[in-house]
Amino acid sequence: MKKWMVVLFGVGVALGQVAPEANYDEAKVGSYLLPDPLRLSTGAAVGDADTWRRIRRPEILRIYEGEVFGRTVAPETKVVAEVLDGGTPALGGKAVRKQVRLWFGGKKEGPGATVLLYLPAKSKGPAPVFVGLSFGPNATVHADPGIVLGETWVRDPEDRTKMVKRAVGEEARGRGASRWHVEKIVERGFGLATACYLEIEPDFVGGLGHGVRALSQKAPGADEWGALGAWAWGLSRMVDYLETDPGVDAKRIAVVGHSRLGKAALWAGAQDERFALVISNNSGEGGAALARRNYGETLQRITTVFPHWFAGNYAGYGADPGRLPVDAHMLLALMAPRPVYVASAEEDRWADPQGEFLAASAAGRVYELLGKRGLGTDEMPGLHAPVMETVGYHIRAGKHDVTEYDWEQYLRFAEKHLGR
């Protein structure tokens, strides 16, 4: 069978649609008023942690479910785990590699995802673990020849309007390794668990019938989950499995994601409090950036280009994001009191670094109500000057990517809040 080395990063834009132009002029951002995370739908103020926990937090979650990401309609079947690699020395003896196939439909067929897990070989006990989805098959995460190669979705070379699933070849090994820095992670005493996001749910318009959503949903809906909801669900299923591994400290699991997978990481962390720490890397619109800021990618543009990511209701706010009853600061606040870290890149204007910082800063009020320290500043820090309170933030030089610098900050943040 012919092998394919192409890794798909996402396909959107229905025929006939035109994406609006982006604004990069701060003078054209305009004024906006953020909704108050500490005011109930009745108008009453939230003055204590108990009211936040019992009433306001569930209110915000319900809004995100109904208006942004959609309600998670999980399949009724129990996920079946098939062990492919029970534990093999790897990375020159620095790590133990494990691989398991999670079958979402309750039997060993249909949609599922293969989890790649590295644990530090010299750990004296259960290790804290970073969990994150990758854009390509697991073999792209590291050149380790023992990683199952996997498959991906590509455009059909004979009919460019269609997407097809194809096996990847040896050429794909390690292609995305610069975004993971596996050796650095295990040398610092952390494990890493990853899976390809495309296995959980394909990333193209019309992909609904090929992933986990097909087990419980027939068509897109106004408040039904989109692909981002499915990817977030998949992250939680990875935690289900990690809880059964004696080498994993299930109380110290951090979820991390880049770009659209940063949005998925935030939504996973908001819904699933087993994630002890949440990291958003360049997640932008629909993630850590304020939707009300007319800068870079906007709500209108993202729902035009990637309508399959969200609940159908989200697109209805495109013409006037100020009508949206929530914004990114409230998504970040759903992590409280757990640590949350937001990272931006100077040249990644598309993701609106200023909007990401402002959201992280505004989330601090909820953290302070719960006895934690937010960012502690409303002045955006300079390049390479990370802030690491319970809410963390940095902006680095460079473009939309995950770099060694980013991972160094995530490791420092995790060491401070989770230990090692």
Instruction: List residues with catalytic annotation.
Output: 259, 400
Distance of CA 214 to the CA centre of its chain: 21
Question: Which distant-in-sequence residues (6+ apart) come within 8 Å of 161 by Cβ?
Answer: none
d(CA 198, CA 150): 11
CA distances from residue 139 to 236, 310, 380 in whole angstroms, order as listed: 22, 28, 38
Tell me the one-letter amino acid at 289. A
**Residue 190 is encoded by which pair of tokens?**
């952390």
Are 84 and 150 in contact, with CB atoms under 8 Å apart? no
Strands (E), 91-176: 95-103, 112-120, 127-134, 151-156, 159-167
Dihedral angle sign, alpha carbons of residues 87, 90, 94, 98: negative
The gap between the terminal CA atoms of the chain, to the nearest Å, is 44
Are 95 and 117 in contact, with CB atoms under 8 Å apart? no
Phi, psi of 140 (to 5 degrees): -80, -15
Are 161 and 285 in contact, with CB atoms under 8 Å apart? no
The neighbouring-strand residues paired with 253 are 129, 275
d(CA 102, CA 117): 13
Tell me the one-letter amino acid at 175. R
Residue carrying the six token digits 């998949």: 234
